């Protein structure tokens, strides 16, 4: 356990940090909304009623709000899968591929063990999902640890292979003439339980628990300390006897496992089946969220929430003002641009790690 | 296998590879200056939608090609503003541009979905005389196809035989040194991005105006990412990019040939091959320490202001 | 800060400006009347003051119809055909209001979209994409007072019904035309997915072609996407390189396939929408399209006067639910006559498309002598008839 003494009471730090976060994200979003209002004006729509639609679709009803939470689940997990290895200076762009492998492995279990009860098949699916993601992360981590090739490039390439494996399996083995591009629906036992009559499923618990665990490990354990020292200065860490290569491989595999769990949660909790290209870029969104939040757990939670509002609210804009759903990606992009360009009060909000 | 089928694989490879080669060349230029744009897919989408839209509204495909180039160049400048002027992280900025492209292209393209266009006119290659239309149509190419190989050599010349190219590569290898020797790394990176964007625009224009002759959301289908992989495959070298594109497009054409010949091989399996190949060569080069990547690729140039 | 704004907006405006004049220049088929009182026509300059209160000045609509599409509504294909049918409801019954959502690709998206439509007051839902059937069925259970119509599926419940045309018979007629027009005796078929309906269409098409030309072969190739245009172009080309001289398709938008065939000087036969003909001015044979506007209108009217009942509706050419496109300039009169004779024979029952004995690719008998493939069994077909090259699964 770390013996580090915090200079301020935990509670007040939380408050302070929370306030900082709130200001930073608030201003960011305001600017992004202003930019997107320009787009709305150009397309002949009134921004204010459009935004009212967007927010009423997300905050206006219990159902709408529940959809925001549902949308948060995969990106929360994939963001964690990026944040964790970033602490030891590794860049995981491969969340997308690891997500697919997790989904594929979990689907295998769901289709193979149709007759098992839920308390048995769901843990199997979860474990296989984690295994799938971890396997997909192992190769890049291994090659990096022996100094062969940078993990950024390998994970990116492996992202492109993963959906094709899904396609191969779905069209080769897992689909019936009644399905187009998907497996049959999973049996109920292979579906994660949902809550409150909404589509919120157990995946949100995975996300939140792992988020807390992540915070705990980084702040309160020797592992966290060692990881931060690797991330800070590899040479110094090596001199201090920290085993670099095992850390790289294990941490990367764990993060792959988390992304794989996200894939399992999507197919089991959300879709209830596997579609070969089901992800609209959850892995990449996770990368951005983790990056925006500077790898900070609370920031990840907030940023994932914001992104989910955008993704969920966009659907309503399509219905009410006929804006193509894909256009909502612009609002997402503007949010990112604003953060990336760091325009607002740079002194006050400068990230510590920058 | 008939002669037509074999010539067909060649023709299909050329037709579908052209857009990919332009995009790959564009990314080679930007990466040579030390900037990696993961959002190439988004840039391609914006260009394809703009080019298609201008072609529909003006009736002139050549104006469409110009507009697509311009749109590609401008989109890359947005990216450049983030990573050069604001010194933002390249990977994150690239992904932001990706989502920007998803959104903006859907917006630009919406009025033109399902609209008929005058596609780029095609000219017969000189040589073969009287052949049935099915044969001659195999080798009637638009000017973008005729242009693509000379363009590759032009880019090679630009990068390796001009002062501008020397400066660009110097910035990619070490911006600080380049600055010390009197160059302006920021400006050079911007120029590289703009040229890369123009090339990406050409590729996108070929895709929507000449090849598919329509516009649909997400129509590039991952070609931007494939181009990024091909840049690695070709070791950041324009001429070798031709080989990379031939492997990739050839695999697709060959896979379709198998399918229509009644041979049942999963297309997904064959689609994986180029990526596995790229990974393999990457590992081999990694082992022999023969990296050809620009040394500062992906790193943010902090500047010396 | 200022610089950011300036540069960003200049760039955005510049990129947009390239296409900005276009929407006005080309009169796009008007998106149906404003869906919400808040929506303003594109040309109107939005007022800067706070928008007026949203009290609608006119009567509230007698019925709000929500429609979900699996692709873009102006695709000159399936989605446009469905969109036109939905718009016809409002043209015929002016008090109906329509809410639409295009590009709803998957099941999960359909659930969200339909939920949002119901929250906007929709009392009738047309779920027009294949993948929207089960989400719609689930929501039909959740909202018993909303009427659901799915297009092209098979499920039924108390407030959930199914409607579709009868494409197989028309495919048979298309096959007759193609079988007479081909010189190489090879017909190409670009399909999205190995799907029961696709197999049925290919089979009907092949049987029709074989009825006039026993040597004919149909080559099927898949793109594995309803709207992957680059793949469609590649697939069409590789079929043509197999000496195919007539191309047909079962993808959402026929645009790329037909444009590519035309550029290679190969005949095409359209599907989904009569608008497909514009892409092949020269080498067009004929095509079929869905014209479900009258049936949709009738269904909506029964919802308004509360006489709606769940009916498993399949309606063909004679009912006006499908239509055949005009023949192209290169089609001889004898082909036109033959096709209309076959149409009459199909109508009178003299020809039955799927009448046994029918063998599959391996020579196994799939439909016995004296038996007929039923509408119900069509959803489970996973075989091709003899004469088809390609994998049915």
DSSP C17-45: HHHHTHHHHTTPPPPPS-SSTT---TTSP
- Under an 8 A CB cutoff, do B259 and C256 touch? no
Least confidently predicted of A106-120, A330-344, C21-35, C242-256: C21-35
**pLDDT at residue C53 greater than cutoff 70:** no
DSSP notation for A187-233: PGGGSPPB-TTSS-BTHHHHHHHHHHHHHHHHHHSHHHHHHHHHHH-
CATH number for the domain that contains residue B222: 1.10.3470
**Closest alpha carbon to C255 in B190, B38, B117, A342:** B117
Which residues in A246-259 are b (16+ Cβ under 10 Å) and which e?
A: ebbbbbbbbbbbbb
Closest-CA residue to C198 (of C220, C176, C178): C220
C356 pLDDT band (50/70/90 cuts)? confident
Q: Which residues contact C71 (CB under 8 A, 6 or more apart)?
A: B216, C77, C78, C79, C102, C103, C105, C129, C226, C227, C252, C253
Q: What is the DSSP letter of C157?
A: B
Most confident region among A25-29, A145-149, B10-14 by mean pLDDT: B10-14
Kindly report the nearest CA distance between residue B132 and chain A, in angstroms. Answer: 37
Greatest Cα pair distance, chain A, in angstroms, is 65
> What is the structure's pLDDT at B292?
67
Question: Rounded distance, CA C267 to CA C261, Å?
Answer: 7
> Residue B305 domain-assigned?
no
B192 within domain boundaries? yes
Instruction: Tell me the domains of chain A and their CATH numbers.
Output: 70-313 (1.10.3470)
CATH number of C167-289+323-389: 3.40.50.2300
B293 inside domain: no
Given a cut of 60, whether residue A354 has pLDDT beyond it is: no
pLDDT surpasses 50 at C371: yes
Low-confidence winner among A106-120, B119-133, B262-276 (lowest mean pLDDT): B119-133
- The CB density around residue B231, as the number of other CB atoms within 10 Å, is 29
Residues in A closer than 8 angstroms to B91, CB to CB, are 91, 93, 152, 287, 291
Specify the pairing of strand C312-315 against strand B140-142: unpaired
Closest chain B C-alpha to A10 CA, distance in angstroms: 31
User: What confidence tier does C1 reach under pLDDT thresholds 50, 70, 90?
Assistant: very low
Contact B178, B167 (CB under 8 A): yes
Looking at every residue in chain B, the average pLDDT score rounds to 89
pLDDT: which is higher, A254 or B217: A254
- State how many domains chain B has: 1
End-to-end CA distance of chain A: give it in Å, rounded.
Answer: 27
CA distance C6 to C12: 10
Mean pLDDT of the region C1-19:
43
What residue spans define the domains of chain C?
A: 63-166+293-315, 167-289+323-389
Is the confidence at residue B247, as pLDDT, over 70? Answer: yes
Helix H or strand E segment including A52: helix A47-58
- The mean pLDDT of B52-68, rounded to a whole number, is 96
Closest CA to A76 of A258, A251, A201: A258
pLDDT the model gives residue C4:
44
Within a domain: B62:
yes
Give me the percent of chain B exceeding a pLDDT of 70. Answer: 94
Q: How many CB pairs under 8 A join A and C?
A: 126
Residues of C in contact with A176 (CB under 8 A): 382
Q: pLDDT digits over C280-328, tens only?
A: 999 999 999 999 999 999 999 999 999 999 999 988 898 899 999 999 9
pLDDT band at A227 (very low <50, low <70, confident <90, very high): confident
Give the list of residues 6+ apart from residue B236 with CB closer than 8 angstroms, or none: B28, B31, B32, B292, B293, B294
Q: Cα–Cα distance between A59 and A309 in angstroms, integer?
A: 9
Out of A160, A333, A337, the one facing B275 most closely (by C-beta) is A160
Work out the angle between the directed axes of helices B3-32 and C229-240 (0-180°, nearest 10): 150
Scan for tokens 């006039």, then name that residue. Answer: C212
Nearest to C103 among B53, B217, B268 (CB): B217
Q: Which residues of C touch A180 (CB under 8 A)?
A: 130-131, 192-193, 195, 226
- Looking at residue A6, what is its pLDDT? 45
Residue C15's pLDDT is: 42
pLDDT averaged over every residue in chain C: 84
Q: Residue B300 domain-assigned? A: no
Determine phi and psi for A294, rounding to 5 degrees: 60, 25
- C51 CB neighbours in chain A (<8 A) are 46, 48-49
Would you state the structure tokens that stand for residue A142, as one six-digit string? 């291994």
Mean pLDDT across A316-328: 85
pLDDT, one tens digit per residue, over C90-139 is: 999 999 999 999 888 877 788 889 998 998 899 999 999 988 998 899 89
Percent of chain A having pLDDT more than 90? 41
For residue B103, what are the domain limits?
3-120+137-288
Q: Which of C335, A306, C233, A284 is nearest to B213 (CA)?
A: C233
d(CA A125, CA A140): 24
Rounded to whole angstroms, the Cα distance separating C250 from B284 reads 44
Shortest CA gap C201–chain A (Å): 13
- Token look-up 């890359």 returns B76
Question: Which of A41, A278, A320 shows the shortest C-beta gap to C36?
Answer: A320
How sure is the predictor about A1, in pLDDT bands with cuts at 50, 70 and 90?
very low
| Tokens coding B214 | 């329509």
pLDDT at position A7? 47
ipTM at complex level: 0.90
User: Per the CATH hierarchy, to which homologous superfamily does domain C63-166+293-315 belong?
Assistant: Response regulator (3.40.50.2300)
Pairing of strands C96-101, C186-191: unpaired
Q: Give the residue with greater pLDDT, C366 vs C106.
A: C366
Q: CB neighbours (10 Å) of residue C381? A: 22
**Rounded to a whole number, what is the largest CA-CA distance in chain C?**
80
Q: How far is A321 from chain C (nearest CA, A)?
A: 6
Q: Are B60 and B118 in contact (CB under 8 A)?
A: yes
Indicate whether A157 pLDDT > 60: yes
Number of A to B CB contacts under 8 A, please give it.
130
* B125 within domain boundaries: no
pTM: 0.87
């Amino acid at each position: 356990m770390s013996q580090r003494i915090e200079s301020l009471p935990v509670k007040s730090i939380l408050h302070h940090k929370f306030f900082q976060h709130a200001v930073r994200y608030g201003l960011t979003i305001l600017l992004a909304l202003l930019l997107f209002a320009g787009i709305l004006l150009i397309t002949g729509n009134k921004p204010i009623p459009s935004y009212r639609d967007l927010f009423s679709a997300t905050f206006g009803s219990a159902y709408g709000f529940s959809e925001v939470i549902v949308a948060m689940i995969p990106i929360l997990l994939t963001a964690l899968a990026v944040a964790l290895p970033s602490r030891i200076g590794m860049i995981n762009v491969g969340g997308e591929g690891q997500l697919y492998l997790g989904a594929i492995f979990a689907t295998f279990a769901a289709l193979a063990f149709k007759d098992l009860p839920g308390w048995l098949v769901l843990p199997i699916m979860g474990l296989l999902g984690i295994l799938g993601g971890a396997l997909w992360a192992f190769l890049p981590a291994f090659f990096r640890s022996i100094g062969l090739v940078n993990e950024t490039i390998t994970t990116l390439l492996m992202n492109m292979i993963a959906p094709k494996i899904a396609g191969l399996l779905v069209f080769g083995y897992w689909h019936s003439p009644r399905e187009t591009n998907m497996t049959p629906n999973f049996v109920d036992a292979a579906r994660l339980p949902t809550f409150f009559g909404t589509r919120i499923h157990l995946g949100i618990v995975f996300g939140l628990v792992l988020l807390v665990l992540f915070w705990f490990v980084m702040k309160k354990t020797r592992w966290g300390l060692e990881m931060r020292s690797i991330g800070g200065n590899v040479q110094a860490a090596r001199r201090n006897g920290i085993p670099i290569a095992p850390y790289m491989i294990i941490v990367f595999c764990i993060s792959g496992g988390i992304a794989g769990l996200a894939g399992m949660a999507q197919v089991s909790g959300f879709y209830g089946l596997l579609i070969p290209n089901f992800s609209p870029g959850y892995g990449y969104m996770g990368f951005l969220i983790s990056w925006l939040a500077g790898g900070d757990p609370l920031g990840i939670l907030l940023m994932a929430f914001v992104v989910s509002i955008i993704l969920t609210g966009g659907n309503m804009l399509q219905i009410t003002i006929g804006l193509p759903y894909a256009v909502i990606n612009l609002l997402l992009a503007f949010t990112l641009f604003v953060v990336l360009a760091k325009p607002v009060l740079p002194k006050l909000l400068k990230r510590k790690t920058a | 296998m008939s002669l037509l089928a074999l010539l067909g694989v060649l023709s299909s490879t050329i037709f579908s590879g052209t857009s990919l080669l332009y995009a790959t060349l564009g990314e080679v230029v930007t990466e040579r200056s030390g900037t990696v744009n993961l959002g190439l897919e988004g840039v391609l989408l914006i260009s394809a939608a703009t080019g298609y839209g201008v072609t529909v509204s003006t009736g002139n495909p050549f104006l469409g090609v110009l507009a697509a180039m311009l749109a590609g160049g401008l989109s890359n400048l947005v990216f450049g503003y983030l990573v050069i002027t604001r010194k933002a992280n390249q990977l994150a900025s690239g992904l932001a541009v990706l989502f920007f492209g998803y959104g903006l292209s859907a917006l630009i393209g919406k009025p033109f979905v399902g609209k008929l266009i005058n596609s780029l006119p095609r000219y017969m290659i000189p040589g073969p005389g009287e052949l049935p239309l099915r044969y001659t149509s195999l080798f009637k190419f638009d000017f973008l196809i005729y242009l693509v190989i000379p363009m590759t050599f032009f880019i090679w010349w630009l990068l390796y035989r001009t002062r501008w190219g020397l400066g660009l590569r110097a910035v990619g290898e070490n911006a600080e040194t380049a600055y010390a020797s009197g160059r302006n790394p920021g400006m050079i990176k911007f120029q590289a991005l703009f040229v890369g964007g123009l090339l990406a625009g050409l590729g996108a224009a070929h895709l929507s105006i000449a090849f598919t002759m329509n516009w649909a959301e997400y129509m590039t289908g991952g070609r931007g990412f494939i181009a990024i992989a091909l840049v690695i495959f070709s070791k950041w070298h324009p001429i070798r990019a031709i080989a990379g594109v031939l492997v990739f497009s050839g695999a697709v054409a060959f896979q379709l040939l198998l399918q229509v010949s009644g041979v049942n091989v999963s297309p997904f399996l064959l689609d994986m091959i180029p990526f596995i190949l790229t990974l393999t060569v990457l590992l081999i080069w990694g082992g022999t320490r023969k990296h050809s990547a620009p040394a500062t690729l992906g790193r943010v140039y902090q500047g010396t202001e | 800060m200022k610089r950011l704004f300036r540069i960003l907006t200049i760039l955005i405006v510049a990129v947009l400006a390239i296409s900005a004049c276009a929407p006005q220049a080309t009169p796009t088929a008007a998106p149906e009347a404003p869906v919400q009182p808040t929506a303003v026509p594109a040309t109107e300059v939005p007022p800067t003051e706070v928008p007026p209160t949203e009290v609608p000045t006119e009567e509230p609509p007698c019925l709000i119809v929500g429609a979900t599409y699996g692709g873009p509504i102006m695709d000159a294909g399936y989605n446009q055909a469905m969109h036109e049918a939905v718009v016809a409801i409002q043209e015929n019954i002016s008090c109906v209001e329509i809410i639409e959502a295009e590009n709803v690709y998957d099941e999960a998206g359909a659930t969200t979209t339909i939920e949002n439509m119901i929250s906007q007051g929709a009392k009738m839902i047309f779920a027009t994409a294949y993948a929207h059937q089960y989400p719609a069925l689930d929501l039909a259970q959740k909202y018993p007072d909303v009427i659901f119509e799915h297009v092209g599926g098979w499920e039924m419940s108390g407030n959930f019904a199914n409607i579709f045309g009868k494409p197989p018979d028309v495919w048979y007629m298309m096959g007759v035309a193609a079988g007479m027009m081909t010189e190489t005796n090879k017909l190409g078929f670009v399909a999205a997915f190995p799907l029961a309906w696709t197999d049925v269409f290919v089979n009907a098409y092949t049987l029709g072609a074989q009825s006039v030309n026993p040597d004919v072969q149909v080559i099927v190739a898949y793109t594995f996407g309803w709207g992957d245009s680059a793949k469609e172009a590649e697939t069409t080309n590789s079929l043509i390189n197999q000496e195919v001289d007539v191309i047909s398709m079962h993808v959402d938008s026929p645009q790329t396939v037909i444009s590519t065939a035309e550029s290679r000087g190969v005949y095409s036969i359209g599907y989904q929408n009569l608008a497909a003909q514009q892409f092949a001015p020269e080498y067009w044979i004929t095509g079929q399209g869905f014209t479900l506007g009258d049936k949709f209108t009738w269904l909506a009217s029964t919802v308004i006067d509360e006489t709606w009942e769940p009916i498993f509706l399949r309606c063909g050419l004679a009912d006006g639910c499908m239509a055949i496109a005009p023949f192209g300039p290169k089609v001889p009169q004898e082909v036109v006559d033959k096709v209309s004779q076959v149409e009459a024979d199909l109508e009178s029952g003299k020809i039955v498309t799927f009448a046994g004995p029918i063998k599959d690719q391996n020579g196994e008998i799939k439909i016995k002598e004296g038996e007929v493939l039923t509408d119900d069994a069509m959803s489970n077909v996973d075989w091709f008839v003899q004469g088809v090259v390609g994998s049915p699964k």
